[in-house]
Structure 1
Amino acid sequence: MQEEILTLARTLSGAGEDEEAALVLLCKAAEKAWTGRLREDVEPEECREAFLCAAALFAVAGLSASRGGMQFTAGDVSVTEPEGGKNAEALRREAERLMEPYVTAAEFRFRGVRG
């Protein structure tokens, strides 16, 4: 799945050659993170499409945050959005939404109740 995640992340990010090494590592980390969050009764192949998209989105979010914004390139046209933090968070939320049926909760907190 690693190569498929990387291919999708390249497409979504418009990553240049100078960002390739970072994107490869981000994709590996994203795959490992999502695999670790899967419920015990779910394998990555069972939610393949969502898994691939979520891992790629997480990797692109990491790259976006490091860039300080998103960059999309189509032919000779390049569009850059300067708000990397907002875009990265939106990508992470979308990945969480896609994987929600297959994973355990990302965070769990106990909150005290005053009596």
Structure 2
Amino acid sequence: MELVEETVLLAKTMGQVEETAHLTILARAACAQLAGRLRAGVTPDHCRTAFCTAAAWLTLAGLEGGQTVRRFSAGDLTVETDGQDRQTFWRMAQDLMRPYLRDDGFAFRGVMG
């Protein structure tokens, strides 16, 4: 099975969403994004399960317009969300793929004093 197809299948299952053209487009973009950040010598097939799962989470993050509001009241303004937002999906994907991705972070080498 192709990586994008596997990612779409996982996103449909995990997010309980229907397959749409948007889902496939987002899955293709998520796979491309992750593949472009892999460490030298690592391919998506080296970490296929983690890769497709992380790409599915990124796909779901792209589908989410933010958090889903479960309850809203106007008196003293209460808003209750489901807690699954874009940042949560993005963070889970980054954590899962951390061993396979290049370190693009910032680091100090030293401070002149």
Normalising by the smaller structure, the TM-score range is 0.7 to 0.9
Distance 2:7 2:56 in 1: 5
How far residue 88 of structure 1 moved from its aligned partner, in angstroms, is: 1.1
- SS at structure 2 position matched to 1:96: helix
Which of 95, 101, 104 is 1:103 aligned to?
101
Which TM-score applies when normalising by structure 1?
Answer: 0.73
Identify the structure with the greater helix proportion. Answer: 1
Q: Match of 1:12, SS?
A: helix
Alignment partner of 1:87 is 2:77: no
Tell me the distance in 1 between the aligned counterparts of 2:86 and 2:35: 20
Give ranges in structure 1 of 5+ residues lacking alignment: 71-80
Tell me the TM-score normalized by structure 2.
0.74
| 2:18 maps to which of 16, 26, 40 | 16
Aligned AA (2:56): A
1:4 corresponds to 2:6: yes
Gapped regions of structure 2 (runs ≥ 5): 69-79
Q: Give, as a single letter, the amino acid of the residue that structure 1 aligns with 2:55.
A: A
Name the residue aligned to 1:38.
38
The two structures, once aligned, show a CA RMSD in angstroms of 2.7
